[in-house]
Amino acid sequence: MFDSLYSVALPGTAKDKSETLVRRYPTAVTGLTSCAPPDVNTVYGAFMHRLGLDPDRQTMGQRPVLRAGDYERKVKPILGPHEWLTYRQINEITLELGAGLSKLMKAEDDSPPRVVIYAPTSRQWTLCMLACYSQGMQVVTAYDTLGDDGLVHAMNETKAQIVFAKADQLPTLQRVSSRITSVHTVVYYSDACGMPEAAQEALKDIRLAMDIDSVQRLGREWPKDACPARSGSDTALVMYTSGSTGAPRGVLVAHGGILAVCGAIEQLVPDVIDRATDRVLSYLPLSHVLAFFVEVFCLYSGLAIGYGTPRTLADDSVENGMGDLRALRPAVMLGVPQVWAAMRGNILHQVAQRPAVIQWLFHAAVEAKTWLSAWGLPTGVLDAVVFRRTRAGTGGCLKIAITGGAQISAPVQKFIAAAICPMIHGYGLTEASGLVSVQIPGDLSLGNVGAPMPSVEVKLVDVPEAGYFAANQQGEICVRGPSVFQGYLDDDQLTKETVTEDGWLRTGDVGQWVEGGRLAVIDRIRNLIKMATGEFVALEALESAYAASAYVAHICVVADARMRRPCALVSLTEQTARNVTADMVYNDLLAAGRLAGLPPPHMLAHIRVDPEPWTPENGLLTAANKLRRAAIHKRNESLLQEMFELMDRRGERLSE
């Protein structure tokens, strides 16, 4: 079928014709990676391992907020330069903070000690995580945009006693306090510029709240030696999924599962990364599985972490200074597809302001660099002459861009790889401890998510109702290995439905083995819609293709059994919202569809543009920037009805 450059098929591992042979990463054929290094079995142990090697190495750089931003009033924040901590300093802080948290924790016989971290990505988030692990506590992650109901659900279901939050979240905690059954203490931190007024008011009505400095002082008064978890099988995390539908689910992840992923990443880290000098930008929610695992890997491996926020990445987002990208000058940056699509859109918007000949030269250079890179030929002249400014906008030091969380369109991936730096695409889910597969640096192929991680084995199983069969090297992606989760909190039935008796995690995603033994994700079972023509369309796959339009920030494709072709609701980028018409957007979307090779039945019949942005804050996106379809449909009922009536008049939708 194809060679085994990226994965190896294990003979005799298919139970029957309904599944493919099991495939593993070439170095894992004789055994899956289970930990790193072999004598470390907990996250705290991994941190202590690095502390012993490099106690004075700096990491966790954070910029002090000298003036808070107010985006509704268009007031930009003022940020200082990054301030760094050494591993030795981090250890001192986490021991004090851990001892303080332990002193606040009440003895409970029926549940393990748990702390909810309800805060945005920051140095304090990771310090609290390490403090918990130093005392054998479990960490419960809750997105700071989870919403009242989701937050209450997470705190009550886990029976957590302490919640750690940024001061900005205090009004939310005060608002839901009467619905919380087990949390007795709120530990909070604030920016250097002080607490918001709303937080100060909320603090008056919270029964027991302590700032992080007070908890550290408590730890100094009541010191306690580190008492971390003893076994890799001990639960480290209760990670709540962002939940595009229904209540968020608590995913139980073991210390060993986390370290198995770290060990797998260790095998794949390229030589181009210099751990002594390179930096990783941490700005995605640490409550999201991919960001969390990269954070832990950096702590273990010694890669310096620098923090930022999604709203302060660019220079024009801060007052009189540099955005996080240019201030940190990272070598590695993670992003979801929307981040990279927005970056591409911003660059194309700037290019469009230049003379026609410059525009032509820029686009020709993108194609030329793509071709040269595919053949392993040098591209230094193009980088120096054409792409110098685009690379400078991200700090000028990016070596690897990592995308995950959803499918990225091939045009966006190709563009970022040419204009900024090589991009690798990863695939994973919370239940698989973050990563199932990832492209190996240097693999510039498009339309796939690379090789299985050395910590897992993967097979594909028939999805007959949608026409996917193992005989065609297609089927539901099933994963097994030490990084697979322990189960859902207090939901044995769902766990049994998700994990087979012999340990295979059913992901709900449809995959295909392609050239070189790479994995491609081609569909999502629950988002497969059978249309009036009898064809199945995959909503997420279509959205990935149409996201290549430079006009589009987000797109929600709509299809049902009565439609002959899909339609879509669209949210535009900030740069284009004021300058384009709906017809221009529609034509550009059709061009993106043709570029992606979509067949005519998958081309959009109509679109409607939502004038308001879609964000996690207004409930239209999850914290991981995935669509909340039901919320988007409800908000745009009138626009949907317009399209449906138009389709009815034109015979594009069957009558009921």
Rounded Cα–Cα distance for residues 132 and 130 (Å): 5
Asked if pLDDT for residue 13 goes beyond 70, the answer is: yes
Asked if pLDDT for residue 3 goes beyond 70, the answer is: no
- Does residue 224 lie within any of the structural domains? yes
Counting the structural domains of the chain, the total is 2
Asked if pLDDT for residue 337 goes beyond 60, the answer is: yes
- Does residue 142 lie within any of the structural domains? yes
- Does residue 189 lie within any of the structural domains? yes
- Does residue 73 lie within any of the structural domains? yes
pLDDT confidence of 1, banded at 50, 70, 90?
very low
User: Residue 541: what pLDDT?
Assistant: 85
Tell which of 268, 298, 331 closes a domain. Answer: 268
Q: Strand 400-403 relative to strand 279-282: parallel, antiparallel, unpaired?
A: unpaired
Express each pLDDT in 504-525 by its tens digit. Answer: 999 999 999 999 999 999 888 8
Q: Which residue has the tokens 């980088």?
A: 383
Q: What is the 3-state secondary structure (H, E, C) of 42-71?
A: CHHHHHHHHHHHCCCCEEEEECCEEECCEC
Express each pLDDT in 405-464 by its tens digit. Answer: 888 888 899 999 999 999 999 999 999 988 999 998 888 899 899 999 999 999 999 999
**Nearest C-alpha neighbor of 173 from the set 197, 193, 155, 192:** 155
| Mean predicted lDDT score pLDDT of the chain | 92
Express each pLDDT in 561-590 by its tens digit. Answer: 899 999 999 999 877 777 889 999 999 999
Express each pLDDT in 223-269 by its tens digit. Answer: 999 999 999 999 999 999 865 556 788 999 999 999 999 999 988 87
Mean pLDDT of 159-186: 95
- Does residue 398 lie within any of the structural domains? no
Express each pLDDT in 32-52 by its tens digit. Answer: 988 767 789 999 999 999 999
Rounded Cα–Cα distance for residues 647 and 306 (Å): 50
- Output DSSP code: residue 463: B
- Does residue 634 lie within any of the structural domains? yes
Asked if pLDDT for residue 137 goes beyond 80, the answer is: yes
Mean pLDDT of 86-115: 93
User: Residue 338: what pLDDT?
Assistant: 82
pLDDT confidence of 122, banded at 50, 70, 90?
very high
| CATH number of the structural domain spanning residue 120 | 3.40.50.980
pLDDT confidence of 278, banded at 50, 70, 90?
very high
SS3 265: helix
**What are the angstrom distances between the C-alpha of 292 and each of 210, 267, 434, 524, 645?**
26, 19, 8, 24, 45
Rounded Cα–Cα distance for residues 68 and 77 (Å): 5
Asked if pLDDT for residue 15 goes beyond 80, the answer is: yes
- Output DSSP code: residue 288: S
Tell which of 241, 268, 295 closes a domain. Answer: 268
Q: Encoding tokens for residue 194?
A: 């002080």
Mean pLDDT of 641-655: 90
Asked if pLDDT for residue 489 goes beyond 80, the answer is: yes
User: Residue 243: what pLDDT?
Assistant: 53
Q: Does the reported pTM lie above 0.75?
A: yes
Asked if pLDDT for residue 642 goes beyond 70, the answer is: yes
Mean pLDDT of 181-190: 96
Quick check: bond before 330 cis, omega within 30?
A: no
**Nearest C-alpha neighbor of 431 from the set 484, 478, 383:** 484
Residue type at 135 in one-letter notation: Q
Mean pLDDT of 164-193: 95
Q: Of 618 and 56, which is predicted with more confidence?
A: 56
User: Residue 532: what pLDDT?
Assistant: 86
User: Residue 442: what pLDDT?
Assistant: 83
Tell which of 213, 238, 268 closes a domain. Answer: 268
| CATH number of the structural domain spanning residue 566 | 3.30.300.30
- Output DSSP code: residue 330: -
Question: What residue numbers bound the domain in which 556 lies?
Answer: 531-649
Rounded Cα–Cα distance for residues 159 and 137 (Å): 13
**Nearest C-alpha neighbor of 539 from the set 558, 521, 554:** 558
Express each pLDDT in 584-596 by its tens digit. Answer: 999 999 999 998 8
First to last CA, the chain: 46
- Does residue 423 lie within any of the structural domains? no
Cβ 352 vs Cβ 420: under 8 Å = no
- Does residue 135 lie within any of the structural domains? yes
Asked if pLDDT for residue 4 goes beyond 80, the answer is: no
Q: Can you point out the beta strands (E) in 271-329? A: 279-282, 304-307
